[in-house]
Structure 1
Amino acid sequence: MKASNMPNPPIQNQPIGMGWLFKMVWRDSRKNRSRLLLFISSIVLGIAALVAVYSFKDNLQRDIDNQAKELTGADLIVESRRAVEPKTQQLLAKLGDDRSQERSFASMVYFLKGQGSRLVQIKALQGKYPYYGAIETSPTAAASSFQQGRNALVDQTLMLQFNAKTGDSIKVGDLNFAIAGILNKAPGQTGISATVAPTVYIPLSYLEQTKLTQIGSRITYRYYYQFKNADSLAQTIKKLDPKLEKEGLDIETVASKKEQTGRSFSDMSRFLALSGFIALLLGCIGVGSAIHVYIQEKLSAIATLRCLGLKARHAFLIYLIQISFIGLIGAILGAILGTLIQFLLPIVLKDFLPITISMQVSWLAIAQGILLGLIISVLFALPSLLAVRKISPLNAIRASFEHTVIKRGNL
């Protein structure tokens, strides 16, 4: 007998490579691709949420590190909730290469033209603060020139609320101030804080004349310092920290501000990431249930392959590869969608952020999302996939017999 007329050897006698397994994966998926796309959609949304949050967190941390000086406005800030003792004031007056001071408190202001009043945050400033970044005003020159006379910088929300214009007057305590400019932004100020407690800047030299600094007034005293030498700053902090702490004064530096801001927004990022992870888990539960139904429908095909000599582990690998590709495609699509969503988060959260966010693609977040999506989708499908290894070749005969019995019963 010629070799061409010999029967094909069973599958179990043939070496099975990865190429044959991938070919079977492709053939098996042809009739079920629409259903497989439904499985993918269950993963996409969860991965998109996670990648968007992780990318936003990475970009936020980078911008906090880059803009920490602009956020603080000075190299060193000394803060006190009560008036500083004269001896301590003499000590503070000798610090740094340049210094400014500010006193802030809540008070009412009265708009003379609009005849309206509003509770605001008064900040009486003296000096060139901020040393990093800027107080943004309209016109721009008002930020530096308002201290040269009895002038004020009024938050833009107040200007809109009372329909005020530059040149109008406001009354703070017993003193009237001309509005020299509109305050658009100040170091560390967010849109939501400006809405709750709008800021009004006045020169510190006129504060006593307003008669607002009396016994019982809740005033915060801040002293801002610029150090041109970083070593000098470190030595000053090390020397003064014990003394100032004993007198109830707080010290804040660029490093501490960076750490505090990063910690605050890290809590928000964790909450958003937890929400995204829960969405991913719910999606994967749906994937696990769908895969269970999908495998049940494939029992006859798997049993037929087992009759042809296919080993149980190879049948298991065919569907493991198929589900892995489903998870991988879903994770990639979710990562792409999440990367697009992250560019919308700064717009939504801009009123809560004290810094300007420059969004960039975070490859680390994309890699984390894809890997997590692949792992979780396989894990949730694994219980159903393990059942493939227990399918016997007799299932093909049993399924045919049961189908015949049911058909006769219907007749």
Structure 2
Amino acid sequence: MIGAPSVRLRPLLALRLALREMRGGLKGFYIFLACIALGTAAIAGVNSLSQSITATIASQGQELLAGDIRFELNNRVATTEERAYLDGLGTVAVSAGLRSMARLPDGSNQALVELKAVDAAYPLYGTLESQPDRPLHDLIARDGDVFGAVVAPLLLDRLDVKVGDEILLGNARVRIAGTITREPDALSDGFGFAPRLMVSDEALAATGLVQTGSLVEHTYKVKLADPAGVAAVRTEAEKSQPAAGWSIRTSGNAAPALTANITRFSQFLTLVGLTALIVGGVGVANAVRAYLDAKRSVIATFKCLGAPAALVAMIYLAQILMIALIGIVIGLVLGALIPFVAAQFLADLLPISTAFHLYPGALGLAALFGVLTALTFAILPLGRARAIPATALFRQQGFDPSGFPAWPYLLGAVACLAALAGLAIFTAYDRYISLVFLGAIAFAFIVLRAVALAIAWLARRSPRVNSPALRLAIGNIHRPGALTSSVVLSLGLGLALLVTLALIDGNLRRELTGSMAERAPNFFFVDIQGSEIEGFRSVLNQAIPKGKVIEVPMLRGRITAFNGEDVNSRNVPPAGQWVLRGDRGITYAKNKPENSTLSEGAWWPADYSGEPLVSFSSEEAGELGLKIGDTVTVNVLGRNITAKIANFRNVEWESLSINFVMVFSPNTFAGAPHAWLATVIDPSATPEEEAAVLKAVTNAYPTITSVRVKDALDIVNGLLGQLATAIRAAAAVALVASVLVLAGALAAGNRARVHDAVVLKTLGATRVTLIKAFSYEYAILGLATAVFALFAGGIAAWFVVNRIMTLPSSFLPDVAIVTVVAALVMTVGIGLAGTWRILGQKAAPVLREL
């Protein structure tokens, strides 16, 4: 007989008994293992991949930046004093970047290019690789009146030219001397909508593209004598040259936009992985309950021999934790391999190490998520088993899942759940999004429970039907111990997540290729000089007479302060950081822009001549914590200009028309040199007519940059497709977890199904009747769950698309049909697969146990 060991020795005794009982293997815990391993692997893999990319960016920062520190000026070159300061820091390489049009000498074809002009010192770190493999400055050297250039291979296809052919760039003639295989600092230069074309700084001067007000980024990259002191150099540069208005970046943060986007995307995928883990938690609860149900005689024996209830709970908690650790280890191994596997496919697109590395932080976080999930969902079934007396265990077929366990178990489950939620929020890049996401998951659990109760209630009150199989199926839905709650809960979350992601993807694609493309302008024209504006209008009137032309003055400026406080010291939420990152396009206007409405404040009079005023986009102002009367300091062309916020505007960014975060009163920039920005809108224009417009403007004004909006939307749509692939893969993990949980729920109920099937067969039911009954039951549950998934997924997708992305959202019927079919196939298919063995059970052995 088991004595009453001391409290101090009880854990050791529980562990010894747990290990002894586990000698029989892990039967009944395979679903448990799969659920924990799958969710842990998803979180470990996503975070390991994110850390791999960010670590590579940090370790290769000098090469990615092509310098130790980078100073960027927009629309102007460094002054003599600023250049002398930079030369005093170390070796300086100067480059300039802008968008322009490359065209064939006969004017028959043209294409937008990302132009980059470099000097003889480029690159300070790394090597530009090209075909043919020759030194860069030999390839871009001048030969008489023709300048050399290296280009991205895509440009050859777009212009239908080959290496050795000549093209026109502005007012200069350029010969394509080679193609770019690898550009060391491409990622730090940011995303480009057009293929790269690289020339010398001498060639850029000959093109005539750099004029007053042109949108040009002048970059000064410095190789320091002591790279370790780069942080101190940055701090000193900001203090010694406060009026320069340059944007400074160090090799430790070579590609901030890419790093931020990787972090955001990894957070999203981590939340999806957490969903898979939480869905798997339902499988954990089902597996624990089924395992304890199978161990009812052992538990009864323990209790009859005098084992305290707490000891019984410790024994099985120890087993559950050990099995959970096995699943976590499997998940960590798979997660650790994901960056190595992904590197084989992403190495040409992203800076990611192809060597195998372990990322302890990512693996530790995933392990902690796995342990907390296992504890959260295992404690309640353990508490119910602890509370059942030995006599009840001997009498009953299994545990009754209804009711609540003792308060310590409830408190423990709540504590683990709070820790799980707190960990998800604390480790998130955007904690608000994480909080909303977890709130949605919690709400989904409550609603799914209500849906299961509603289905059972309707089944109980449904009219009597003549079909015995259908009548039996309806009875199975509402009888005690029915699988209704388990099936609805396990399948509902996965399908709802899948519907949400599919609807978001579908709405974005439809918006980009449909309504947005229809509402958007046909063209954007950039870098129109004041002396060219009249002739430009004349060309457009002839090329596209029905087009609506809108022109606005445009400058570039970087926000440096709010209310005199440096923006770098301001705590800005992630959603508003893009406004402060780099330079923004700004304009001035007498009248309110036609595509925006005032939300607060008043517009200035047309003849206003007082202190500088600015109109700010209301959404961005809210994210930055601004109010009417606050001041904004903007550095424009090396001068700091401070203006008071006079009003807020609601801006329709999704229209893709001319919009600005900041619109200033006209007197703010009186006499300041600037260029013009224009759009032309003609929804009826054919592709041939658009091509004619592009040709006419480029041939007449080669220094004006023309951007066809539909081409840009096609590029964005392609990027969206690549992201959607990753999102679908993550959603598939959650769906696989749902399928595993569904299989586990059906397995947990198989013992009761065996008795039902044997009794019914004894009473004369045929195998066909039972198959029909089970098929009807699973089909009804699958259909009901699909309806919920469509409803919940539709609301979630609407919130993301309409409220967060501020785009039109609609329900897509094809998504509904696919979801319903998937739900029915999974529930009926998995249900019948799990019960097929039951239908072949011999009656005598089962009847003897009754």
Distance of 2:188 and 2:82 partners within structure 1: 34
Q: Which amino acid in structure 1 is aligned with residue 387 of structure 2?
A: K
Q: Which residue of structure 2 aligns with residue 189 of structure 1?
A: 186
Q: Which residue of structure 2 aligns with residue 72 of structure 1?
A: 65
Q: Which secondary structure state, in structure 2, belongs to the residue aligned with residue 386 of structure 1?
A: helix
TM-aligned CA deviation for residue 197 of structure 1: 2.0
Superposed CA deviations along residues 167-200 of structure 1, whole A, max 9, x for unmatched, are 1222111222111211122233259977732110
Question: Is the counterpart of residue 116 in structure 1 residue 109 in structure 2?
Answer: yes
Query: Contact between 1:304 and 1:396, CA under 8 Å: does it hold in 2?
Result: no
Question: Is the counterpart of residue 59 in structure 1 residue 52 in structure 2?
Answer: yes
Alignment of 1:260-339 (within 5 A): 262-339=259-336
Distance of 2:230 and 2:4 partners within structure 1: 78
Residues 292/91 of structure 1: CA separation in 2 closer, same or farther (3 Å cut): same
Question: Is the counterpart of residue 179 in structure 1 residue 176 in structure 2?
Answer: yes
Give identity over the alignment, percent: 27
Q: Which residue of structure 2 aligns with residue 343 of structure 1?
A: 340
Superposed CA deviations along residues 216-247 of structure 1, whole A, max 9, x for unmatched, are 42111112222224588677645542454413
Alignment of 1:187-266 (within 5 A): 187-190=184-187, 196-230=193-227, 237-242=234-239, 244-257=241-254, 262-266=259-263
Q: CA RMSD in A?
A: 3.5
Distance of 1:232 and 1:40 partners within structure 2: 50
Question: Is the counterpart of residue 101 in structure 1 residue 94 in structure 2?
Answer: yes
Q: Which residue of structure 2 aligns with residue 26 of structure 1?
A: 22
How many residues align? The count is 392
TM-aligned CA deviation for residue 311 of structure 1: 2.5
Q: Which secondary structure state, in structure 2, belongs to the residue aligned with residue 214 of structure 1?
A: coil
Q: Which residue of structure 2 aligns with residue 84 of structure 1?
A: 77
TM-aligned CA deviation for residue 344 of structure 1: 2.8
Residues 191/104 of structure 1: CA separation in 2 closer, same or farther (3 Å cut): closer
Distance of 1:389 and 1:235 partners within structure 2: 63
TM-aligned CA deviation for residue 122 of structure 1: 0.7
Q: Which residue of structure 2 aligns with residue 403 of structure 1?
A: none
TM-aligned CA deviation for residue 314 of structure 1: 2.5
TM-aligned CA deviation for residue 312 of structure 1: 1.6
Q: Which moved more, 1:213-222 or 1:119-128?
A: 213-222
Question: Is the counterpart of residue 140 in structure 1 residue 133 in structure 2?
Answer: yes
TM-aligned CA deviation for residue 203 of structure 1: 1.2
Distance of 2:84 and 2:177 partners within structure 1: 34
Q: Which amino acid in structure 2 is aligned with residue 66 of structure 1?
A: S
Query: Contact between 1:11 and 1:309, CA under 8 Å: does it hold in 2?
Result: yes
Out of 37, 47, 70, the residue aligned to residue 40 of structure 2 is 47
Q: Which amino acid in structure 2 is aligned with residue 21 of structure 1?
A: L
Query: Contact between 2:18 and 2:316, CA under 8 Å: does it hold in 1?
Result: no
Question: Is the counterpart of residue 360 in structure 1 residue 367 in structure 2?
Answer: no
Distance of 2:55 and 2:224 partners within structure 1: 24
Q: Which amino acid in structure 2 is aligned with residue 152 of structure 1?
A: A
Residues 90/342 of structure 1: CA separation in 2 closer, same or farther (3 Å cut): closer
Residues 354/112 of structure 1: CA separation in 2 closer, same or farther (3 Å cut): farther
Q: Which residue of structure 1 aligns with residue 3 of structure 2?
A: 12
Q: Which moved more, 1:380-389 or 1:225-234?
A: 225-234
Distance of 1:71 and 1:116 partners within structure 2: 34
TM-aligned CA deviation for residue 25 of structure 1: 2.3
TM-aligned CA deviation for residue 49 of structure 1: 0.6
Q: Which moved more, 1:213-222 or 1:255-264?
A: 255-264
Superposed CA deviations along residues 125-184 of structure 1, whole A, max 9, x for unmatched, are 112111111222112324131342110010122234445432122211122211121112
Query: Contact between 2:130 and 2:181, CA under 8 Å: does it hold in 1?
Result: yes
Residues 397/365 of structure 1: CA separation in 2 closer, same or farther (3 Å cut): closer
Q: Which amino acid in structure 2 is aligned with residue 215 of structure 1?
A: T
Q: Which residue of structure 2 aligns with residue 4 of structure 1?
A: none
TM-aligned CA deviation for residue 11 of structure 1: 2.8
TM-score by length of 1: 0.82
Q: Which moved more, 1:170-179 or 1:33-42?
A: 33-42
Distance of 1:391 and 1:234 partners within structure 2: 65
Q: Which moved more, 1:145-154 or 1:161-170?
A: 161-170
Residues 242/313 of structure 1: CA separation in 2 closer, same or farther (3 Å cut): closer
Superposed CA deviations along residues 364-410 of structure 1, whole A, max 9, x for unmatched, are 5434433432332123101111222222122245449xxxxx999xx
In the alignment, structure 2 segments of 5+ residues that lack a partner are: 398-758, 760-845
Residues 164/25 of structure 1: CA separation in 2 closer, same or farther (3 Å cut): farther
TM-aligned CA deviation for residue 354 of structure 1: 4.6
Structure scoring higher RCO (CA < 8 A, sep ≥ 6) equals 1
Distance of 1:237 and 1:11 partners within structure 2: 71
Distance of 1:44 and 1:192 partners within structure 2: 40
Q: Which moved more, 1:234-243 or 1:315-324?
A: 234-243
Distance of 1:326 and 1:114 partners within structure 2: 71
Q: Which secondary structure state, in structure 1, belongs to the residue aligned with residue 115 of structure 2?
A: strand
Query: Contact between 1:189 and 1:354, CA under 8 Å: does it hold in 2?
Result: no
Q: Which secondary structure state, in structure 2, belongs to the residue aligned with residue 118 of structure 1?
A: strand
Distance of 2:256 and 2:43 partners within structure 1: 24
Residues 118/364 of structure 1: CA separation in 2 closer, same or farther (3 Å cut): same
Residues 48/20 of structure 1: CA separation in 2 closer, same or farther (3 Å cut): closer
